[in-house]
């Protein structure tokens, strides 16, 4: 499974919960498309576990070479790799309210998406 698809699903779930609590004022697709949801969920849902706690293979395109870059709007992600049997991933999502990231939301013209 493509880890980025898991990330999108996690963002949509988070957006739905935050909308239920009145944090988001727009449809779930808008914070995802504009990157606003990343302000609350900057690191995604976890990271791989390997020889190091945050395994360097987290961005590998394959077992041999290559690199899958972080998406532009998700620069804090710990992993971009396609998941395969045998890859172990820590699941540790975090909901964050970080002033610096919320200021970026406002600066980028998306303040009306958030209450």
What's the pLDDT score for residue 22? Answer: 95
Asked if residue 114 is part of any domain, the answer here is no
Q: Would you call 97 helix, strand, or coil by DSSP? A: coil
Residue 25, domain extent: 3-107
Helix %, strand %, coil % for the chain, to 5? 40, 10, 50
Asked if residue 52 is part of any domain, the answer here is yes
What's the pLDDT score for residue 16? Answer: 93
Asked if residue 115 is part of any domain, the answer here is no
What's the pLDDT score for residue 50? Answer: 66
Asked if residue 93 is part of any domain, the answer here is yes
Asked if residue 113 is part of any domain, the answer here is no
Asked if residue 112 is part of any domain, the answer here is no
What's the pLDDT score for residue 23? Answer: 94
Asked if residue 75 is part of any domain, the answer here is yes
Work out how many domains the chain is built from and give that number.
Answer: 1
For the chain, 115 residues long, the average pLDDT of each consecutive 10-residue run is: 79 92 92 89 75 64 73 69 79 85 94 94
- The sign one gets for the Cα dihedral 67, 86, 92, 28 is positive
């Amino acid at each position: 499974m493509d880890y980025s698809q898991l990330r999108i699903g996690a963002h949509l779930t988070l957006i739905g919960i935050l909308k239920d609590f009145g944090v988001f004022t727009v449809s779930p697709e808008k914070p995802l498309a504009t990157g606003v949801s990343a302000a609350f969920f900057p690191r995604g849902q976890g990271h791989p576990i390997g020889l190091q706690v945050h395994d360097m293979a987290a961005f590998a395109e394959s077992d041999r070479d290559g690199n899958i870059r972080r998406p532009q709007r998700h620069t804090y992600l710990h992993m971009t790799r396609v998941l395969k049997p045998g890859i172990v991933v820590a699941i540790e999502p975090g909901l964050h309210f970080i002033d610096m990231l919320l200021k970026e939301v406002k600066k980028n013209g998306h303040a009306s998406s958030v209450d």
